[in-house]
Amino acid sequence: MRLTEHLAIEGFAASIGSVGDAYDNALMETMIGLYKTECIRLGPFHAGPLKTLSDVEYATATWMEWWNNARLHSRLGYRPPTEAEAAHYAALSNSVPQSCPT
């Protein structure tokens, strides 16, 4: 109730789905599942059990760096996101006409 009232006072429309709406949180739940499976459980992002908050932070930072920069993504032709992004902007800069001679 307080969130809804505060949003109304500030002039914002709440973006909260209906109760039991599986689609509202599906993307976030998928990401959390991937994070738990790939990062928190034993794997390549940490050598042993996570005992401290610093261990979790370091494993999370390592996983995020891999997720954003190194993972091979099928929708990007099995290229890392940074490589696909660089190619995208290179193609854009090559297709934009330079200033016309007068």
Q: What is the pLDDT of residues 76-98, one digit of tens each?
A: 999 999 999 999 999 988 875 55
Longest dimension (CA), the chain: 68
Whether 33 and 25 have beta carbons less than 8 Å apart is answered as no
- List all residues 6 or more positions away from 87 whose beta carbon is below 8 Å from its beta carbon: 79
Question: What is the tens place of the pLDDT at every residue in 9-62?
Answer: 888 776 656 655 666 677 778 889 999 998 998 888 888 889 999 999 999 999
